[in-house]
Chain A
Amino acid sequence: MQNQKLMNIEGIGKNYRVSKSFFGSEEIAALDNVSLELFMGKTLAIVGESGSGKTTLAKIIMRLENSSAGSVSLINKAKEITNIEQIPKAQFYSKIQMVFQDPFSSLNPRKKIWQIIVAPLVNCKTLTREESKDVAAKYLEMVGLSASFLDCYPHTLSGGQRQRVGIARALVLQPEILILDEPLSALDVSIQAQIINLLLKLQRELGLTYLFISHDLSVVKHFSDYVAVLYAGQLVEYGGAIDVIDNPMHPYTKALVESSFSFKNYRGKNVEIRNDENMETERHEKKWKKQAVEGEIEVSKLRSSHCNFASRCESSTDACYQRKPDYLEINVRENLRERKRNIACLHV
């Protein structure tokens, strides 16, 4: 049971054609040769900026988009590997479900909560109204809401409550895998903690496997087992969540970690307190500068022949512009333990 593989994502690529001008169009690579694995009961986090291909990957896994290259396959308990394209859709979606980012637009405003929750069941089972309500009540309870919400409409709920409804809807088909597409980013801090706790509890109790898309590294570090860092459609680093965030090796991951804000680095931390008067003056003079990587993410052209991050990278050399770094597995020795890490950088 330990570390049983549940999903294999192999060499996924996705190209989009964008029109450049009147005379023609250009193909860009939104995803390029992305390979990942999901393990039963574990959480894989995917981090990266907007435009890095996180959501495209989720859409391909959910069969909402077709990939241009590569394949996604599910592995069952008997270790049989099936390409997801060959699984009937009803069966497929009872194995894998998704929780969306925005709890305000992902619930139908004209349906009652119980209707929203049992909606996925309609394709699989026929239920009477009473049975449906019972099912909905059961799942509401599972996500920590009382049955009194059954006949409410979504607009009467707060953001956190809506996100719980979204989770209940995803659970109703008893899936093995949940894709969580930034489920916390629309929520307040104290509500975020409640939803994190709920997701952790569900994982412990139901043995769920999560694919967690996020940009908040402190949440990722706490919530996930593995983390994959995407940049402009390519995997740049992959490893254990804590290993990668505490000891990032790819320059882009380093930049991400450095530009995260934390209340532990409060302003004036490095200013010595001598007396209050002094502090007053120093406080206003002190120049504040956050480590920030220059520039912005650029779309990757199809068959680009250099490192996508080279133009923003502090340690880039001519070699970075001449060939694409391979995505290699390396062993990192940390606290006397060998850990596997995948990384795509010429300088590591």
Chain B
Amino acid sequence: MILSIKNLNIGFYDNQVYKPAIRNLSFELAAGEVLGVVGESGCGKSITNYALMGLLPSNALVTADRLELCGKKLLELNKKQWRDFRGNDVAMIFQDPMNALNPTITIEKQLVEMLSKMQKGKSGKEYRQMALKLLDKVGIPAAHLRLKNYPYELSGGMAQRVVIAMALACKPSILIADEPTTALDVTIQAQILNLLDQIRIDSNMAVIIVSHDIGIISEYADRIQVMYSGEVVESGTARQVTTNPYHPYTKGLLESLPGQGDKVPKSDLNTIPGVVIPIERQVEGCRYVERCPNAQDICHTTPPELIQISNNLSDLSRCHLRG
């Protein structure tokens, strides 16, 4: 296993008050596997990834029984070790490629700067050659011309390819893609995901992809993790989660999408009533209980555990009523 997390808890100190954000998160990821994380905004999808990258602010408190990535214990790394670790073992691409690139320097300079930090002791010419190769690899046409461009001269799709090129420069064993295609058009979305998967196969890299778009996650990921208010409420293979969801939240999400077979056009869609419970609020029972259509007494009093729901070890659900 390339990534192994057991009972990860993340919280933030806000004026001396501890506010939990991620509760008891456990999962594992193998090389070459794609894990998709879905959930609404504010449910803690991104916080886990920032923890894996060591990018949490200083008021964050991270505790875990086990937090190992590529054989390294993340909780024991110091600042310098983190710097070597980031980029070499784990890399991340962000939602908005335009914000991820420095607008005032050329693509070539940005790539060379990054390469010279990562792989020391080469000449400028060699670095430029490497930068060109990287751009070729991510499918940018006429890469030698693009090197001299500033980010604003690129389209969103091209800029995202440059960001991917940067992330992949050091052949990380795990890539975290946080909403990598949300800012892009549908046709470009498909191109970018094709590119990511090509690279994943070539280098047997593991991918964590975060999105609020269930369509993208279920088509692209091997395994899906549904987050709700800081907890995993369901996880399983793409087949399991999309065709046979157990948790009422997963069901609610899938049913609220337009284009279900039996829906008359312009008829009302199913909705999940209410809003996500604030991530820091402590509750006695299930965190979804206020929005759940079939909540029982036990749901108000006892927090449900994440339990196995089929004979496949990775199919889990956090609900009292099924499984």
Instruction: Indicate whether A105 reaches chain B with its CB closer than 8 angstroms.
Output: no
- Complex contacts, A273 vs chain B, CB 8 Å: 239
A221-B258 CB under 8 A given contacts A193-B270, A266-B218? yes
**Interface residue? A333 (CB, 8 A):** no
Quick one: given A189-B40, A189-B214, A194-B271, are A218 and B259 in contact (CB under 8 Å)?
yes
B254 at the interface (CB under 8 A from A): yes
* Chain A, 259-290, CB within 8 A of any chain B CB: 259-269, 273, 276, 279, 283-284, 287-290
Chain A 292-310, CB-CB to B under 8 Å as 1, else 0, gives 1110110000000000000
Q: Are B212 and A241 in contact (CB under 8 A)?
A: no
> Is B290 on the interface with A (CB-CB < 8 A)?
no
Indicate whether A202 reaches chain B with its CB closer than 8 angstroms: no
A218 to B197, CA, bound (A): 25
Q: In the bound complex, do residue A190 and residue B263 qualify as a contact, i.e. CB atoms below 8 Å apart?
A: no
Residue from A188, A263, A290 whose CB has the most chain B CB atoms within 10 Å: A263
Cβ contact of B215, chosen from A197, A258, A262, A288, cutoff 8 A: A262
CB distance from A336 to the nearest CB of B (A): 20
> B32, A284: Cβ atoms under 8 Å?
yes
Q: Name the A residues within 8 Å of B190 (CB-CB).
A: 258-259, 261, 290-293
B269 within 8 A of A: yes
Cross-interface CB contact of B222 among A49, A267, A276, cutoff 8 Å: A267
The distance in angstroms between the C-alpha atoms of A270 and B216, with both chains bound, is: 17
Quote the shortest CB–CB distance from A45 to chain B (angstroms): 12
Q: How many positions in chain A have a CB within 8 Å of any CB in the partner chain? A: 55
Kindly provide the distance from the CB of B126 to the nearest chain A CB, expressed in whole angstroms.
Answer: 31
Q: Complex Cα distance A193/B267, Å?
A: 11
Q: Is B22 an interface residue (CB 8 A)?
A: no
On chain B, the number of residues with a Cβ less than 8 Å from chain A's Cβ atoms is: 57
Q: CA A225 – CA B265 in complex, angstroms?
A: 9
Most chain B beta-carbon contacts within 10 A, residue among A255, A261, A296: A261
Q: Are the C-beta atoms of B197 and A276 separated by less than 8 Å?
A: no
A219 at the interface (CB under 8 A from B): yes
Is residue B304 contacting chain A, with contact meaning CB distance below 8 A? no
Contacting residues, chain B, for A263 (C-beta < 8 A): 214-215, 217-219, 242, 254, 257
**A159, A255, A259: residue with the most chain B Cβ atoms closer than 10 Å:** A259
Chain A residues near B254: list those with CB within 8 A: 263
A242 within 8 A of B: yes
Contacts of A265 in B (CB 8 A): 218-219
Provide the A148-190 mask, 1 if CB < 8 A to any CB of B, else 0: 0000000000111000000000000000000000000000111
State whether the Cβ of B33 lies closer than 8 Å to any Cβ in chain A: yes
Of the candidate stretches B3-11, B61-69, B180-188, B279-287, the one touching chain A is B180-188
B222 touches A221 (CB 8 A): no
Complex Cα distance A290/B197, Å? 10
A223 at the A/B interface (Cβ < 8 Å)? yes
Q: Considering the chains assembled together, what is the distance between the CA atoms of A225 and B155 in angstroms?
A: 32
- Minimum CB–CB distance for A64 against chain B, Å: 23
Interfacial residues of chain A within 15-56, with CB under 8 A of chain B in the complex: 49-50
B83 smallest CB distance to A (angstroms) = 31
Q: Could you tell me if A190 and B219 are in contact, using CB atoms closer than 8 angstroms? A: no
Q: Which residues of B contact A129 (CB under 8 A)?
A: none
Is B303 located at the chain interface by the 8 A CB criterion? no
Could you say which residues of chain B place their CB within 8 Å of the CB of A115? none
Closest 9 CB pairs of A and B: A261-B215, A292-B190, A222-B258, A218-B259, A193-B256, A259-B190, A263-B218, A266-B238, A193-B269
Extra contacts, 4 of them, besides A50-B156, A222-B259, A262-B259 (Cβ < 8 A), are A218-B259, A267-B222, A268-B239, A292-B187
Binding site for B on A (CB under 8 A): 49-50, 158-160, 188-194, 196-197, 200-201, 215, 217-219, 221-223, 225, 241-242, 255-256, 258-269, 273, 276, 279, 283-284, 287-294, 296-297
Residue contacts A-B, CB under 8 angstroms, 18 given: A160-B275, A188-B212, A189-B212, A189-B213, A190-B253, A190-B271, A191-B40, A193-B272, A196-B269, A222-B265, A259-B187, A260-B186, A261-B218, A263-B242, A268-B237, A273-B239, A290-B190, A297-B185
